[in-house]
A and B are shown apart, each in its own frame.
Chain A
Amino acid sequence: MSKEIIKIENLKREFTMGTETVHALKGISYSIKEGEFVTIMGSSGSGKSTMLNILGCLDQPTSGNYEIDSVKVKDLSRNELATIRNEKIGFIFQSYNLLARTSAIENVELPLLYNSKVSTEERRERAIKALQMVGLGERLDHTPSQLSGGQQQRVAIARSLVNNPVMILADEATGNLDTRTSYEIMSLFQELNKKGITITFVTHEPDIATFSNRTIVLKDGHIIQDYKNTNIHSAAAELAKLPKEDH
């Protein structure tokens, strides 16, 4: 049996809005094993974003237990959380969040800048390797404005890979892309997953879920569905089915 990367037990998150208390997550338990490709689905207000923030160690649960790679996250300080994010999680955002007017390679190097254990040479080496993995080995010095949306998201994926995280956490990573490009990105995710990288993908698009091997559906702060996907679609195959673009 493979290792548990994420272990969540009876997790609750409450927000106080004036005199009212909003229960965003009302006692959630699940775990994610190494090598899984999980989509977390839910409509807006389901607690999806709150789940994502806690998974990404950007936020702390009100109660319950959250362990990532056997580290108990609860009660960690701001700085300790930053270190966890730096060493264990790779973030991918809907709007890419690349640094403007900064080359692809420097963007990818960014997480390693905040890790004093990595030397300048090693940083560059690992950034090049990560960019090669996402198929941008030839565009190291391009700035975001010189890259298409799909390429920018590839740079962001390379950035999430560069610190060898235990899990990649994607937030609507295809939300800003057209169908063709999102299939390309999903096929990249599937490739990475085949290499053993654990992926958690937060989305509200049901067809994205068909590319993953497990889906968790949230509603009103509860898990209403958690199922293994028996019929995993191949994004590469879907891509081939799309009508050819003429250019």
Chain B
Amino acid sequence: MRLLNLLKIAFKAIVLNKTRTLLTMLGIIIGVASVIAMLAIGEGSKESIRTTISSMGSNMITVRPGADDRGPARGSGGNVQTLTLKDYQKIKEETSLLSYMTPVVNGGGQVINGSNNWPSTIYGVNPEYLDIKVVGLQSGSMFTDAEVSSASKVALIGQTVVENVFPDGEDPVGKMIRFNNIPFKVIGVLEEKGENTFGQDQDDVVIAPYTTVQKRILAIDYLNQIMASAISEDDAPEAVTQVTNILRSQHQLLDSEDDDFTVRSMEELISTFSSTSEMLTILLVAVAGISLLIGGIGIMNIMYVSVKERTKEIGLRMAVGAKGADILMQFLIEAILISITGGLLGVILGLSATVFIENFLNWPTSVALYSIVISFAVCAITGIFFGWYPARKASALDPITALRYE
């Protein structure tokens, strides 16, 4: 019997039971739609994390003192004093993969201008800091290397600090402020950067030469951090290795000893956050997959009912010459048609849901083609898998019994 005839028969059976078929499909529709929507949300948030982190300088590399124990009980690396200016100079001398580099020291304190004060953080850096962080100046200028050497009391401030200590809208450039009672001359204002991915206000900063901060504010001679930029994003992983090797030899670590510092690239940060969101995606997809499974069981259920209900019809078909294989194919095709139609409707619903989420909830989404292909394939397989047993049962019926069935 030709496939086209079987298709016609199956199609007719479906059309004759529109409501029932639609209800059966519902499980599949919801399953497929949720798989697609969930994956779109997952992919979307992954992409948005990536872009945000990249905007912070995707080729940025940070060196922190202290071993990298990424466990939950991680100690504050800032208190370890193993990172020094000598390390910074050594790296600067020997590296070939870094374009910009700055020592970083930082500390909290009170910014005071007359009667206005504001708690903020001061970062002691060198002029290359702006290039590493990809941040521009709104007004004024960056301090010079000479000012770093002489430990001048000059500072640049971020927007949040401006708003809080210069509330009257006056131009801060050229004014004097005090940070922890040390007077600084404001020589520039940083461009607004907003919050970063982790909810930290990037505009709540004071920037000054690291020498000044080391001597006048913190009274330390070690560094809290070294920040650098790899020449390009592709060079970042190799730069990490290079910096690690330089520091290991500088710190005279034996092979058996662990690093007493941590070098990280943004790339790693991205993958850390991506894997978190990937985990979430997997969970979402698992839930969606379960609903697809339930949809499949719905199909099996309805196919059983269909076979039972049409026992007499099966008997008749056999009496007029249908072979077991014809009956098997008829019901199998019916199951596959239901699941594929359901899958198609599910894809449409899933895409509409994605558009809705993107436009009305303002969540970033990104529909992956593979999610459509996979969920559609799963649908077809579901149809075959869950349609097989009822179809098999139908084809094995004894025509005499089936004909007499009431």
Chain A residues with a Cβ under 8 A of chain B? 53, 56, 58-59, 78-79, 82-83, 85-87, 91, 93, 97, 99, 101-102, 110-111, 113-116, 159, 163
Contact = CB atoms under 8 A, between A and B. Distances in A.
Contacts of A110: 316-317, 320
B323 A56 contact: no
Contacts of A111: 320-321
B324 A83 contact: no
Nearest to B312: A97
A99 B323 CA distance: 18
A102 B317 CA distance: 14
A86 B321 contact: yes
23 contacts: A53-B400, A56-B319, A58-B400, A79-B324, A82-B321, A82-B324, A85-B321, A86-B321, A87-B321, A91-B319, A97-B312, A97-B315, A97-B316, A97-B319, A99-B313, A110-B317, A110-B320, A114-B1, A114-B320, A114-B322, A115-B321, A116-B1, A159-B320
Interface in B298-331: 312-313, 315-326
A116 B326 CA distance: 12
Nearest to B395: A78
A78 B325 CA distance: 11
Interface of B: 1-2, 5, 9, 12, 16, 312-313, 315-326, 399-400, 403
A56 B1 CA distance: 21
Contacts of A91: 319-320
A80 B312 CA distance: 21
A116 B321 contact: no
Q: Is the interface of B mostly helix, strand, loop or mixed?
A: helix
B247 to A, nearest CB: 79
A79 B5 CA distance: 19
A99 B309 CA distance: 12
B308 to A, nearest CB: 15
Contacts of B9: 113
A234 B399 CA distance: 35
Nearest to A102: B12
A85 B319 contact: yes
A82 B397 CA distance: 13
Nearest to A123: B5
Point out which of A83, A97, A110, A113 has the most chain B C-beta atoms below 10 A from its C-beta: A113
A184 B6 CA distance: 36
Contacts of B318: 58, 82, 85
B399 A86 contact: no
A45 B69 CA distance: 88
B260 to A, nearest CB: 79
Contacts of A163: 320-321
Point out which of A78, A82, A83, A114 has the most chain B C-beta atoms below 10 A from its C-beta: A82
Nearest to A156: B316
A168 to B, nearest CB: 12
Given A58-B400, A114-B320, 6 more contacts: A58-B403, A78-B324, A82-B318, A85-B320, A91-B320, A115-B321
Contacts of B324: 78-79, 82
Nearest to A84: B321
A209 to B, nearest CB: 24
Point out which of B317, B321, B322, B399 has the most chain A C-beta atoms below 10 A from its C-beta: B321
Contacts of B5: 113
A23 B229 CA distance: 97
Contacts of A58: 318-319, 399-400, 403
A235 to B, nearest CB: 26
Given A97-B312, A102-B12, A86 B320 contact: yes
A87 B12 CA distance: 25
Task: Pick the 8 closest A-B CB pairs, nearest first.
Answer: A86-B321, A111-B320, A114-B321, A82-B323, A97-B316, A79-B323, A114-B322, A85-B321
B331 to A, nearest CB: 15
A86 B323 CA distance: 10
A59 B321 CA distance: 14
A85 B324 CA distance: 13
A52 to B, nearest CB: 10
A113 B400 CA distance: 21
A2 B400 CA distance: 32
Given A86-B321, A114-B322, A114-B323, A93 B16 contact: no
Nearest to A99: B313
A59 B401 CA distance: 11
B400 A59 contact: yes
Contacts of A56: 319
B224 to A, nearest CB: 81
A78 B324 CA distance: 8
